[in-house]
Amino acid sequence: MLVAQVLINALVLGCLYACIAIGFSLVWGVLNVINLIHGSFIVLGSYLAWGLYQSLKIPPWYVLIVAAPLFFILGYLLQRLLLNRVITAPVLVTLTLTFGLDLILNNAMIYFFKADYRKLTLSPPIGSVSLFDVVVPVDRLIATASALALTLVLYLVLRRLRVGRAIVAVRLDRDAAVLMGVDVKSIYAIAFGLGAALAGCAGVLMALIFPISPLTSSTFLGKAFVVCVLGGLGSVSGALAGGLLLALVEGVGSATIGPAHATTLSFALLIVFLIVRPQGLLGRKGFE
Amino acid sequence: MVAAVCCSAFASSAVADDVIRFGAPLPLTGPLAPEGIKQQQGYDLWAEQANKAGGISIGGKKYKVEIVYADYQSNTPRAVQTSEQMITQDNINFLFGPFGSGAAKAASTISEKYKVPTIAGTASSSQVYDQGYKYLFGTFTPNDTLTTPLTQIIKSQAPDVKKVAILARNDLFPLAIAQEMEKSAKANGFEVVYFEKYAIGTLDHSATLSQMKSLGPQWIFITGYINDLLLVRKQMVDQQMKAPVVTMIAGPAYQEFIEQAGQSAENVTSASWWHPAEQYDGKDIFGSTSNFVKLFKEKYKSEPDYGQASAALCGALFQIAIERAGSLDREKVRDELAKLDMVTFFGPVKFGSNGQINSLEPPVFQIQGAKPVVLFPQAIKQGELKLGVN
């Protein structure tokens, strides 16, 4: 029964990791920007959920409706006004810019919200469901389902919508896309906005699960990074695969060789992947 | 350039005439920022009270207190650098140790080199004090003074509790206290069925907790800081883990843990070096414990915890030692600190020959009705141990 519990835990955690990573993967895959502000967007999303629950008792799943457009606008503007200016520069330049933006946003959050840890506690609590002896917390199930739904939405946007096809086209061949009449700058801004919206939504969902503090942003960013390397860039399903693999390695590692080594194990796996399979589990060139 | 250097040298020596400068290297940004800010609040409260009373009096003359802060960004090597800079460039008279055992130990080498009396407000591990240093003092008793009374209370009041599971954050203090817990549990006849460490920054404890649950422990003992313990406690509830006794160190000593954990904090036991419910009648500037709590609440609108209280105590002790020495001579002040034997708002203060305080009886407490209730020591006991954490 312990084995079943550990596997279920990993499955649910894997979807949370995918949820954390999906926006990061999109931006990295399409724009070739390693967006270091991603972790802070997630934390900001958590604060939004926390604030709306504390003040107006709005449960986080409704907050998603507000968070998605708000973060989209924030991301869109950031790309339009700042990142687009350096987007063609070497990757180190965009990395430095997002690093600086992250410092600003993160310290602004420390200033306004303090570094104290907060917790969004639903009352009444939504508890856990159990099947035989296997227990799954309902809030994690909600977050998992929402993560899968967001992933599906992103997949459909990229597949079916005109703007989605344009994003994929820009990723595949920037110059050809320009010749086809695609407004590349605006596509970049839309892709970054989508990435930010996904991060904000992830933050809203994570507020149910993790303590909230600006200091956790680097942990989220670290997980997103590992998930992308493991799963591979360039596909929606890559984030999901990477998240599941990471959670499985951590969970089984914790239960067998002890929690102190779980992180070591996951980073060892990261190195192995970088050497043996740098494109990740499901990596491919375009973003499908 | 030369002129600027001269000016600043003159300025600081002119200032030094009627001001006593205390150096306080603190982690004001980075992961330890919440703790650093708490310590700063303690120092500030003391400085404010001391200055309100006219300052520290030496031979009839009053000297104002000035605290020189520097942010070492939660980076221990930088804490050492900052301490040296304070002594050599900022002309501080005395020093407060940086946060925690690790940084305090590292920085103590510097204060020893320059013979600057230093009081560390948040260093408990005995490894900090076993270096044979003469100028380092600390206001926290060794870690086993927390776990031993706790183990004895559980042993005598919950005789059915036999199996203990211990989970520790892999970090200097949280791990040291978990190891002390393992020792005192074994010494008192408990069976330690689980002992594991988790990495700093762990985002999920579900696998660990599932495994722990399968062993059926009656006493779950977990160490870490507020974020870790909030997460672990939530995941325990998620996994429907119940036990007669759940102990967490060092979260429950903070008001914010109790607020954020809500119902799940109920009946969680803990121990710390000081508690606002204590009732000491001190001879320091704050006087009674209740007066300290009152002053703190007026200034910060929140309940003080042991970190803030200990920082304020460090200042109050320097004040007493300086006034008794009747001079700013570092050697004389150091000797007065070593000789201290008095009651303060924090409890009785007397330093052992290694510089670590050995007179405190750290309180054991339990969260009952969203309030910490002291179970030990007998003299300030407020309630009985309740079993069952759901």
**Using CA atoms, how far apart are residues B285 and B289, in angstroms rounded to an integer?**
11
Q: Do B136 and B281 fall within a single domain?
A: yes
**What number of other Cβ atoms are within 10 A of residue A32's Cβ?**
13
Q: Do B341 and B376 fall within a single domain?
A: no
Q: Would you say B241 and B267 are in contact if contact means Cβ atoms under 8 Å apart?
A: no
Return the higher-pLDDT residue of A133 and B110: B110
In the block, residue with structure tokens 């994570």: A206
Report the sign of the C-alpha dihedral through residues A56, A62, A63, A66, in that order. Answer: negative
At residue A146 the predicted structure's pLDDT band, cuts being 50, 70 and 90, is: confident
User: Is B357 inside a domain boundary?
Assistant: no
**DSSP reduced 3-state for B330:** helix
Q: What angle do CA A145, A151, A156 make, to 5 degrees?
A: 125
User: Is A267 inside a domain boundary?
Assistant: no
Per-residue pLDDT, A287: 46
Strands B163-169 and B219-223 come out as parallel
Per-residue pLDDT, B17: 67
Residue A124 tokens read as 């009444």
| Mean pLDDT, residues A37-57 taken together | 94
Q: Do A128 and B240 touch (CB under 8 A)?
A: yes
Q: Do B204 and A121 touch (CB under 8 A)?
A: no
Q: Do B190 and B210 fall within a single domain?
A: yes
At residue A284 the predicted structure's pLDDT band, cuts being 50, 70 and 90, is: low
Of B170, B208, B230, the CB nearest to A119: B230
Of A9, A118, A213, the CB nearest to B206: A9
**Using CA atoms, how far apart are residues A153 and A161, in angstroms rounded to an integer?**
11
What residue type is B126 in one-letter code?
S
User: Is B385 inside a domain boundary?
Assistant: no
Q: Do B154 and B30 fall within a single domain?
A: no
Question: Predicted ipTM?
Answer: 0.81
User: Is A100 inside a domain boundary?
Assistant: yes
Q: Would you say B145 and B360 are in contact if contact means Cβ atoms under 8 Å apart?
A: yes
- What is chain A's mean pLDDT, rounded? 87
**Using CA atoms, how far apart are residues B199 and B201, in angstroms rounded to an integer?**
6
State the smallest CA–CA distance between residue B380 and chain A in angstroms.
30
Among A267, A23, A261, smallest CA distance to B198 is for A261
A23-32, A110-119, A180-189, B120-129: least confidently modelled range: A110-119
User: Is B76 inside a domain boundary?
Assistant: yes
Of B34, B196, B231, the CB nearest to A210: B231
Q: Do B151 and B226 fall within a single domain?
A: yes
Range of the domain at B190: 144-272+363-380
State the smallest CA–CA distance between residue B178 and chain A in angstroms.
14
Among B176, B140, B80, smallest CA distance to B307 is for B140
Per-residue pLDDT of chain B (390 residues), as tens digits, is: 344 444 444 444 444 468 999 999 999 887 788 789 999 999 999 999 999 999 999 988 999 999 999 999 888 899 999 999 999 999 999 999 999 888 999 999 999 999 999 999 999 888 899 999 999 999 999 888 889 999 999 999 999 999 999 999 988 888 989 999 999 999 999 999 999 999 888 888 988 998 899 899 999 999 998 888 999 999 999 888 999 999 999 888 888 889 888 889 999 999 999 988 888 999 999 999 999 999 999 999 988 989 999 999 999 999 999 999 999 999 999 999 999 999 999 999 999 999 999 998 899 999 999 888 999 888 888 899 999 888
**Using CA atoms, how far apart are residues A154 and B255, in angstroms rounded to an integer?**
42
User: Is B93 inside a domain boundary?
Assistant: yes
Tell whether B167 lies on the interface with A, counting CB pairs under 8 A.
yes
N- to C-terminal Cα separation, chain B = 67
Which chain B residue lies closest to A218 (C-alpha atoms)?
B201
Q: Do A135 and B240 touch (CB under 8 A)?
A: yes
Per-residue pLDDT, B5: 40
Tell the burial category of B147 from Cβ atoms under 10 Å away from its Cβ (0-12, 13-18, 19+): buried
Per-residue pLDDT, B186: 93
State the smallest CA–CA distance between residue B282 and chain A in angstroms.
31
Percent of all residues in chain A with a pLDDT value above 90, rounded to a whole number: 28
Tell whether B161 lies on the interface with A, counting CB pairs under 8 A.
no
State the smallest CA–CA distance between residue A198 and chain B in angstroms.
20
Q: Do A250 and B204 touch (CB under 8 A)?
A: yes
Per-residue pLDDT, B271: 92
Q: Do A259 and B167 touch (CB under 8 A)?
A: yes
Among B106, B77, B79, B63, smallest CA distance to B23 is for B79
Q: Do B196 and A110 touch (CB under 8 A)?
A: no
Which chain B residue lies closest to A214 (C-alpha atoms)?
B31
Residues in chain B closer than 8 A to A50 (CB atoms): none
Q: Do B281 and B370 fall within a single domain?
A: no
User: Is A194 inside a domain boundary?
Assistant: yes
Q: Do A255 and B208 touch (CB under 8 A)?
A: yes
Per-residue pLDDT, A263: 81
Q: Do B178 and B121 fall within a single domain?
A: no
Omega within 30 of 0 (cis) for the link into B377: yes
Residue B195 tokens read as 């002992």
**Using CA atoms, how far apart are residues B388 and B390, in angstroms rounded to an integer?**
6
User: Is B356 inside a domain boundary?
Assistant: no
Write the pLDDT tens digit of every residue in A147-202: 888 888 888 988 899 988 998 888 888 888 888 888 888 999 999 999 999 999 99
User: Is A241 inside a domain boundary?
Assistant: no
User: Is A29 inside a domain boundary?
Assistant: yes
Per-residue pLDDT, B344: 95
Q: Do A259 and B34 touch (CB under 8 A)?
A: no
| Mean pLDDT, residues A246-267 taken together | 86
Per-residue pLDDT, A88: 81
Tell whether B201 lies on the interface with A, counting CB pairs under 8 A.
yes
> What is the tally of structural domains in chain A?
1
Of B206, B211, B227, the CB nearest to A213: B227
Of A117, A140, A263, the CB nearest to B260: A117
User: Is A16 inside a domain boundary?
Assistant: no
User: Is B169 inside a domain boundary?
Assistant: yes
> What is the tally of structural domains in chain B?
2
CA distances from B343 to A189, B282, B317, B346 (A): 65, 5, 11, 8
Write the pLDDT tens digit of every residue in A120-129: 888 777 778 8
Q: Would you say A208 and A137 are in contact if contact means Cβ atoms under 8 Å apart?
A: no
Write the pLDDT tens digit of every residue in A200-239: 999 999 998 888 988 889 889 999 999 998 988 767 788 8
Tell whether B164 lies on the interface with A, counting CB pairs under 8 A.
no
- CA–chain centroid gap for B268, Å, is 20
Q: Do A137 and B239 touch (CB under 8 A)?
A: yes
Q: Would you say A46 and A204 are in contact if contact means Cβ atoms under 8 Å apart?
A: yes
User: Is A243 inside a domain boundary?
Assistant: no
Tell whether B73 lies on the interface with A, counting CB pairs under 8 A.
no
Per-residue pLDDT, A135: 85
Interface test with A, best of B38, B73, B203 (most A CBs within 10 A): B203
State the smallest CA–CA distance between residue A147 and chain B in angstroms.
17
Q: What is the DSSP string of chain A?
A: -HHHHHHHHHHHHHHHHHHHHHHHHHHHHHH----TTHHHHHHHHHHHHHHHHHHH---HHHHHHHHHHHHHHHHHHHIIIIIHHHTTS-HHHHHHHHHHHHHHHHHHHHHHH-S--B----SS---EEEETTEEEEHHHHHHHHHHHHHHHHHHHHHHHSHHHHHHHHHHH-HHHHHHTT--HHHHHHHHHHHHHHHHHHHHHHHTTTS-B-GGGHHHHHHHHHHHHHHH-SS-HHHHHHHHHHHHHHHHHHHHHH-GGGHHHHHHHHHHHHHHH-TT-SS--SS--
Residues in chain B closer than 8 A to A243 (CB atoms): none
Tell the burial category of B13 from Cβ atoms under 10 Å away from its Cβ (0-12, 13-18, 19+): exposed
N- to C-terminal Cα separation, chain A = 38
Q: Do B122 and B168 fall within a single domain?
A: no
Q: Do A262 and B206 touch (CB under 8 A)?
A: no
User: Domain holding B102: CATH number?
Assistant: 3.40.50.2300
Tell whether B205 lies on the interface with A, counting CB pairs under 8 A.
yes
Interface test with A, best of B73, B197, B210, B231 (most A CBs within 10 A): B210
pLDDT at A253 over 90: no
A and B: number of Cβ contacts within 8 A:
113
Range of the domain at A161: 23-216
Interface test with B, best of A6, A119, A134, A206 (most B CBs within 10 A): A119
User: Is A105 inside a domain boundary?
Assistant: yes
